[in-house]
Amino acid sequence: MELPYSLSELSHALRTRVLSPVGVTEALLGRIEDDETNAFITVAAGRAMEDAARAEAEIGAGEYRGPLHGVPVAIKDLVHTAGVRTTMASAFFKNFVPDNDAEVARRLGEAGAVLLGKTNTHEFAYGPTGDRSLFGPTLNPHDPGRITGGSSGGSGAAVATGLCYGAIGSDTGGSVRIPAALCGVVGMKPTFGRVGKSGVFPLAPTMDHVGPLTRTVEDNALMLSALAGYDPEDPYSVNLPGEDFARHLAHSIRGTVVGVPTDFYFEHVDTEVEARVREAVEVFRSLGAEVREIEIPNLWETLRAQRLTLAAEAYAVHEERLKTEPEKFDDHGLERLLKGEDLRAHRYANAQQRKLRSRREFEEVLGEVDAILAPSVPVPATEIGQRQISIEGHQEAVYSALTRLTGPTNMNGLPSLSVPCGTTASGLPVGLQIIGRSFDEATLYRFGHAYEGARGPAH
């Protein structure tokens, strides 16, 4: 079956009954059977066909729920789904079946989406490579010897290979944007508190975000419109009215101002990655945006505070498991978690002060520009199992390099969007990161859509 490329195109075909949810779902389940990326941990074929049949009947009866009605999607295997196994890619939960849906899973169900299954993740989401899972590594669709990025690597691979039309990921240090960049898809980390987290297994609760991965910017905006909203079971949820995040997509960016950092975001960056991002900046200039150099102070301090917060909170989440059954953890994850035990309390307190200052520092810059442009990840996808990398002579741990440019906005909670901006000479994707003001995701989508339209989506 010839299927549309984008979620929005599929949505139109389903609404007009050119295609049927049942037929599309059957076709995608067939693709998943042949998948070689290991994108899925659990395929919920029976549930998917039930969802599709229900959607088909509702659409046929004129009970159309909206753009996601009948659209097949996938959910990271960190998000509770009632009656569908949810493993966290860990031996601790390899047979766990929740009784209830997480808030985001419930919202997708209300929107009429079809759940295909649960995507692979780095164990407990504690890793940016996506190659440490109880169920094996996820393989990059562009080169199976390389990582997808993590921890939402299964979601990135599933979207990139056309196994689903959208997927849910979580992002604490970059875990939506990193696989989006390395797999060549669109990924949004919304403003902290924008999307409810109840029923999502925590990594670091004060920095965990949930967001969508899709093939196009418009698709991403449509998914976020369904996901966003107040979650009374999430203490960090912000009570704001629902939004149509696609509402500004048709607006020109002529006359706007984009900021390009002079340091940090372009330090220790692969030359091809920098070249693709600089080319993207010129596309914004050609679209009528003013390009202005900016400086954001204390970014290295913000990154260190983010990493300390992550280590401390991750240890707190797993303390009991670490004491009683440490042998069940992946050995690399265990080593990282145990480092959180000896952190000084005053350092964590200082890090929380840095969070507040970082928010103000970014907001001051964003008072002068409409969005900030930077690389999403400083390097293309590394090899599976690789743990050290040389970036133009700079030696760095792979985990450190992958999260270096995404971590600051996890700390301060500002929204950031990763969109594909070309490939390296060897065909590996590069991501452009667009950072904006708090709760202003619609503007980020506007900029991302304008750029995508000028250079074309990454087919």
Q: What is the pLDDT along the chain (459 residues), one digit of tens a residue?
A: 799 999 999 999 999 999 999 999 999 999 999 999 999 999 999 999 999 999 999 999 999 999 999 999 999 999 999 999 999 999 999 999 999 999 999 999 999 999 999 999 999 999 999 999 999 999 999 999 999 999 999 999 999 999 999 999 999 999 999 999 999 999 999 999 999 999 999 999 999 999 999 999 999 999 999 999 999 999 999 999 999 999 999 999 999 999 999 999 999 999 999 999 999 999 999 999 999 999 999 999 999 999 999 999 999 999 999 999 999 999 999 999 999 998 999 999 999 999 999 999 999 999 999 999 999 999 999 999 999 999 999 999 999 999 999 999 999 999 999 999 999 999 999 999 999 999 999 999 999 999 999 997 766
Same-domain status, 58 and 155 = yes
Q: Are residues 146 and 279 in the same domain?
A: no
Asked about 358 being catalytic, the answer comes back as no
In a shared domain, residues 13 and 132:
yes
Q: Are residues 186 and 281 in the same domain?
A: no
- Only one residue has tokens 């670091």, namely 204
Q: Partners of 431 in the beta sheet?
A: 420
Which of 6, 8, 11, 76 is flagged as catalytic? 76
Give yes or no: residues 35 and 90 share one domain: yes
DSSP string for 155-192: HHHHHHTTS-S-EEEEESSSTTHHHHHHHT-EEEE--T
When divided into structural domains, the chain yields a total of 2
210 and 89 in a single domain? The answer is yes
Identified catalytic residue from 20, 151, 170, 198: 151
Q: Is 175 a catalytic residue?
A: yes
Domain with 13 in it: 7-227
| Helix/strand/coil percent split, the chain, to 5 | 40, 15, 40
What single DSSP character describes residue 91?
G
Could you tell me if 163 and 278 lie in one domain?
no
Q: Same structural domain for residues 174 and 283?
A: no
In a domain, 237, yes or no: no
Domain match, 128 and 272 both: no
Question: Are residues 262 and 153 located together in one domain of the fold?
Answer: no
CATH of the domain at 276: 3.90.1300.10
Mark whether 32 and 160 lie in a shared domain: yes
265 & 144 share domain: no
Q: In terms of pTM, does the model score above 0.85?
A: yes
Q: Single out the residue of 227, 173, 192, 178 nearest to residue 414, CA to CA.
A: 192
**Other CB atoms closer than 10 Å to residue 379's CB: what's the count?**
25
* Domain end call among 188, 205, 227: 227
Catalytic, 76? Answer yes
Catalytic residue among 175, 198, 225, 438: 175
